[in-house]
Amino acid sequence: MTERIIEVWADNLAVEFHNIRQAIDQYPFVAMDTEFPGVVARPIGLFKGSSDYHFQTLRCNVDLLRIIQLGLTLTDDKGELRPGVCTWQFNFRFSINDDMYAPESIELLTKSGINFSRHDSHGIPVEDFGELLIASGLVLEDNVEWVSFHSGYDFGYLLKIVSCSPLPSTESEFFELLRIWFPRIWDIKYLMKSCKTLKGGLQEVADDLQVPRIGPQHQAGSDSLLTAATFFKMRQRFFEGTIDVRYMGVLYGLNSSTSTVPTSTPTRPREHNGAIHYNTQLQQETAAGRGGSLGQAASQAIAILSPGKK
């Protein structure tokens, strides 16, 4: 791994969170990316619109599955990286023998260099990570700005970790919780709507902006580092160095519609990073009961791929 990216496993988790706590005040921009086991289930029932369908797909999959990697890159408000190690690649406990996954996703991650044998034996328990994340200065802070790319699933997994519970049952509740834990979010994919010449995924946008990659693609550390560099290059070129706050707090996706959509009609969601739009002006809705067990999540979904064989 490059000297800019450090691998974090269970045995060095506490030490590296100490290093992050020491750096976050000076480098309060956090670029983030995750790797997860794909999509294995679809929700059933009637939905308010395509956005609701996408959210319910996100919810049941995040509740059923386990995160594999998280990459965090720290920069200052000008995009200058922390000297030395600036990116932490957290490797979580995951077993291809016991945990559920989409086979094509695991195949892609294996080709990208992810060592699933080591994830099984040396991976970070999410409970330990969540405890340290809450006390890290990264969350619940108005002065920390998170940078992401098409990140519905990414923040879904993070919310599941910090709340130690299944995701809320509605988009509005999800967004309320998101704003508590992550008050300031920029999603590059949403910002691209104001950049007519930028299209495609993260790598395509980085190539268009001539941003070089450090490390292997489809690993969370390298992807988060590329996300950071791409964001600041985009901000400089298309927003004259300052992005209006009206773009903040929106995760890329579709607006909700008033029509009811049966399960047979919606487009199948993207495998990586959910397409959900959370309007920062959305009025609070009456809580319909948050959470529920993983069993409830499973009862509301149709598994379309089997877990790995033991």
- pLDDT 10s digits, 105-123: 999 999 999 999 999 999 9
Confidence of residue 50 (pLDDT cuts 50, 70, 90): confident
Amino acid at 190: Y
pLDDT in tens, 171-224: 888 889 999 999 999 999 999 999 989 999 999 999 999 999 999 999 999 999
pLDDT confidence of residue 294: 42
Q: Which of 57-66, 91-100, 180-189, 258-267 has the lowest mean pLDDT?
A: 258-267
Per-residue pLDDT at 160 exceeds 50: yes
For residue 276, what pLDDT is reported? 38
**Does the predicted model carry a pTM greater than 0.85?**
no
Express each pLDDT in 66-86 by its tens digit: 999 999 999 999 999 999 999
Model confidence band, residue 264 (pLDDT cutoffs 50, 70, 90) = very low
The pLDDT score that the predictor gives to residue 292 is 42
Q: What is the pLDDT of residues 218-231, one digit of tens each?
A: 999 999 999 999 99
Tell me the pLDDT of the chain averaged across its residues.
85
Confidence of residue 245 (pLDDT cuts 50, 70, 90): very high
Mean pLDDT on 246-264 = 57
* CA-based nearest residue to 87, from 179, 237, 216: 216
Task: Average the pLDDT over 253-281 and give the result.
Answer: 36
Confidence at 57, pLDDT banded by 50, 70, 90: very high
